[in-house]
Structure 1
Amino acid sequence: MATNQLLEIKNYGQSIWMDNLSRDIIQSGELKDQVENKGICGITSNPAIFEKAIAGNAIYDADIEAGIKAGLPTEKIYESLVFADIRNACDILRPVYDATDGLDGYVSIEVPPSISDDTQATIKEARRYYQEIGRENVMIKIPGTKAGLPAVEQVIADGINVNITLLFSVDSYIKTAWAYITGLEKRAAEGKDISKIASVASFFLSRIDSNIDGKIDAKLKKGVDDIALEAKLRDVKGKVAIANAKIAYQEYKKIIQTDSWKALAAKGAKVQRLLWASTSTKDPSYSDVMYVDELVGPDTVNTLPPATIEACADHCDVASRIETGTEEAYNLIESLKDPDINIDINKVMDELLVEGIDKFVKPFESLMNSLESKVKQLSPV
């Protein structure tokens, strides 16, 4: 029988979650099989995933028609579809949640991306989603924006599991970790239990390399006379995202050594794990599992799209590498300041955050438009 490398990764303290959710995989039994036999112990979703799942898929038609008969507006019909999928996925993952004492077994759902700059609206929607879905193992996704982090703090204080998404810079991760800690401190100060709350910090990878590789390629295209300079530029390609993630992990290690964290841990708090997101390789010349192989390590999660899950199960080279090449990682990020390379990493991260929100807003709008069309199509004349 072939070895499933995903199961091997668990031995190194990393959990594998699937970055995909649709009614098809719930009803066909595929999700149950992935959970029971293939090592998947959580699911993440986002507006782009739901757009692919719902648009043009007849499996949702009966529920859309029920929503029409009930006189629901399009947005409420959308929620009825998505909340049902989330609840069913939570039920499938519940045995994992119970077996791991709430470490894994979560299903993530994102608040509407259109409110990413509105703290109070984010808090309100996170509370409503959590209450209406009604599952202990649901995790509400909130973008790690300037407005999102105070919302994270409050929602954690409310006792709601949170997945902070769209993190690109190490600095944004550190702020996220402290928002989690502050939220737990607020809850603990009120004498409430903090042992049942879980959080992950979703740190994005491939989009960083795509952006920086594009800048490097543009420099190479202009022509480089010096062979040494060309080599210096090529050495950066495909390496920044992993280096950035390894530095973030070092910051995680520092945070869990602080007195603030130790005081919370003594009260039963769970660590906020770094979750590697955007892990499908965009450049075909790179290994299709490079964002898995290089970042296996304790107290982490890697969320993989289906194709990467299959690739990893087949040929991941599993070893704990999260702390290998750490010095080289710092040197690589520092090298971006070299006048010959001249890439402003902070500017890149800011660009990626804006793009990331847009990549969720547009599919959400597209989904609502296609759902509106379907409502008209299915509505009785």
Structure 2
Amino acid sequence: MTFPANPFKPTAGVMPPVLIGRESVIDDFDEGLGDGPGAPDRLMLITGPRGSGKTVMLTELGKMASKHRWMVVDETASEGLVDRLISRIAPEPSRIAGVSFKPSIMGASLGEFSIAPALRPSTLRDAMSARLHSLGKGKGLLITLDETQDASIDDMTALATAAQHMLRENAEVAFVFAGLPSLISDLLNAKVLTFLRRASIKELGDVPLTEVRAAFSSTIRGSKIDIDDEALDIATDATGGYPYMIQLVGYHMWRHARRRHDGPDDAITVEDVRDGIEQARAKLGEGVCAPVIKRLSERAVDYLEAMAIDDGPSATSDIAKRMGESMDCANIYRQRLIDEHVITSPTRGRVDFAIPFLREYLRSLKRG
């Protein structure tokens, strides 16, 4: 028998075979679309650390909206966000109030347009209204925004203002924002974005290991590949419930088994799992942890290494001692790392890693 194609997808934004532990978010959103204007899950904030599956979730919710015959506009936060939304949503941007086209040097339009900042909320609102009118009865508009923490306050204010008006008018619209937990909190605390406090907040944390094991079992055995209980347990424990690691371990143990395949019995063995875990850890370090470390200053990395000595949250006083610094000096690096969303402060006087497996990665560098 030919070993089947690998069902695991450890690539950012690519749909995995099973949305482990995320079914309730999808169900809530689907119900919100069906319940009509005013349903709370038509305004949703999805939060979670890097690798928790936020982008995948936006993709799945977009697919759900498409099944309801809605138009889906996916965007990632960056400069010019609102202008891009208007150009994509408006049936004919040139007919939307507030839009003026930029002429080229020769006087001909290049298809680019300019919107005065003060007019962006009303212009976006007009664009959404025009699009809904063109879509017709029974259809709606979903806007999803990824990496919300990178959006400028001006763009978010314009988008929030327009969204608030559309929701008040009971329009067939929905908005889903995704971003890192701490920066989402910053948005919620901004006075101009108070209406976002009414959003349905979905936190994508670690997946319970019982669900990870069940997903491994059903995905592998459902592909007519055997795996025994010991191999399942080892693979499950290695993921720590971290969604990206689940896909990495699954992908690499499957890959090792397929390359080793040399007989009529198709199975993933303990040897395949152990090799897959080793490869998964290397890829996680290379793809998630190393880029984070690379952009930090030497002393900021020293701060993280001092944290990595502990098995859980660290006392800031202990870190200062390990670094040989005063508390005031050490706290400079603490704040920079919090601002970079590398660490969190769960309680006063303590810090912890915000990126799963970063502690283990730093320890491996020390051993190396």
**With structure 1 as the length reference, what TM-score do the two structures score?**
0.29
> Greater RCO between the two (CA within 8 Å, min separation 6)?
1
